[in-house]
Amino acid sequence: MEFFTVIDYSIFVLLLVLSSAIGLFYALSGDRQRTVQEFLLANRNMGFLPVALSLLATFQSAVAILAHFFIPVFYRLRITSTYEYLELRFNKTVRIFGTITFIFQMVIYMGVVLYAPALALNAVTGFDLWSAVLTMGLVCTLYTTLGGLKAVIWTDVFQTLVMFAGQLAVIVVGARRVGGMARVWSLAEQEGKISGIE
């Protein structure tokens, strides 16, 4: 089994450091988050490209939701969470119950979200599983807590570019190892993987 090399570890550490640096930048710069509106909604002034790339990164592994229908309603009502809507629609008790239920669900969900990539990291590096969970959790908590939504969006932009670069590298290196794209296509054709698109 092959493990990470010094270059691989350097790239991984650089990814964690840059993600943390983005959070620190938005926590310490003149553009720091002073209000709930700035922290949770990036003061409603982020451009479409970083928001689009952030959403792309977010939903790479997320469950599809009905945001297409709910976000316009929330935007018109000028609310920052689903739970504010529950209070407007029903009452404060429903809001609190919904919030507690969501927190419980997220604690379980975040455990899975942190554990799954930690397993992958452990498999390719030999890095201790729980150290990987702790490291990723701390880095994400750091940049989110310090920099608010702007830090999350710009970190997602950075991580989207890293994912694209990684996918491109896999395609290029994989194609080179089997003899080029023509050979990849030929192998896929032989295995019946491209039927219907000829």
Q: pLDDT of 157-175, one tens digit each?
A: 998 899 899 999 999 999 9
Q: How much is the pLDDT for 63?
A: 42
- For residues 58 and 156, is the Cβ–Cβ distance under 8 A? yes
Section 179-191 average pLDDT: 88
Quick: pLDDT tens for 6-33. 888 898 889 889 888 888 888 887 666 6
Residue type, 29: S
- The reported pLDDT for the residue numbered 101 is 92
Q: Is the pLDDT of residue 92 over 90?
A: yes
**158, 19 Cβ separation under 8 angstroms:** yes
Count of residues in the chain? 198
DSSP 44: G
